[in-house]
Amino acid sequence: MMTDFGRLMTAMVTPFNNHLEIDYKQTKHLIEHLIKTGTDTIVVCGTTGEPSTLSDEEKLLFIQFVVEQVQGRCKVIAGTGTNNTKNSIELTIQASQLGVDGILLVVPYYNKPSQEGLFQHFSSIAKSTDLPVILYNIPGRTGINLTKETIVRLSKIHNITAVKEASGDLSTSAYLLDHTPTGFQIYAGDDSLTLPLLSIGGHGVVSVASHIIGSEMKLMIDNFLAGKVKQAAEMHRSMLPIFEGLFITTNPSPVKFALEKQGIPVGSVRLPLVPVNKQEAEFIITLLDNIKKMDKATPNI
């Protein structure tokens, strides 16, 4: 199964109103902003979308709304992974019926299954859908690493077509590129590794920073693919403080604050997450000022 979700995927925040309920009106504005600034695929209910604090009903209604709003202008992937295989299968089946283009499955958190348990978890969910499935390895949040050997084993399942690698280990990505089937795609799970991963043959990024600097990230990727490596490297270095600064505290608190400051209010975060504090807010405002300077300094290529 060959599926291309593009080079720039955005793990979209879930906009909330003042009562911390999903704000569908602001979601419309956010979707339009992301499409306009180069997002190829919107990921709904990924980590940045606070899925752990959304009910299954909220998730499905939100996924349906995004699909209907996008109207095929970009692709939509639904995050349906949980730490409960049965629940993940049910969510995946329901999301698959809503018109999404793919499924994102995070490594089950808290349970700490063995690699065999992980293999059976992902393979069982993949069997429940005809859609392409993207694995999501983020040991810093889940407490367990999906090993390269297990990813290779899973890559042989026909509809497991990609992995979002957020372990921060480029050596793992290099190994996967050499040992997975042709067409299996590796996406960076960290904005700061977008260009390094592309340089070794990776496909793209599932981004947080693209909420704020999507156009710049798309240009960096396009420059690299066009052989303009020096320009791409310069852009990478100029954006690096933003890539890193948006994680000054737990995602998505910083990016939600940054979006508000850019005129795209998406509300706060649900507990147990909390909004950025005064010092963090001042730091992010400085970052946004630097983005304006970066835009002015971007060379005409």
Task: Give me the active site residues, please.
Answer: 136, 164
Pairing of strands 8-11, 204-207: parallel
Structure tokens at 104: 């994102």
What's the one-letter identity of residue 148?
K
Calculate ∠ Cα 89-95-133, nearest 5°: 65
* Cα 27–Cα 93–Cα 78 angle in degrees, nearest 5: 30
CA 128 to chain CA mean position, Å: 22
Angle, helices 210-225 vs 229-245, to 10°: value is 160
9 bridge partner residues: 41, 206
Comparing CA positions, the residue from 206, 200, 203 lying closest to residue 178 is: 200
The residues near 33 (Cβ < 8 Å, ≥ 6 apart) are 211, 264
Write down the residue that tokens 């990921």 correspond to.
43
b (16+ CB within 10 A) / e for 228-258 = beebbebbbebbeebbebbbbbebbbbbbbb
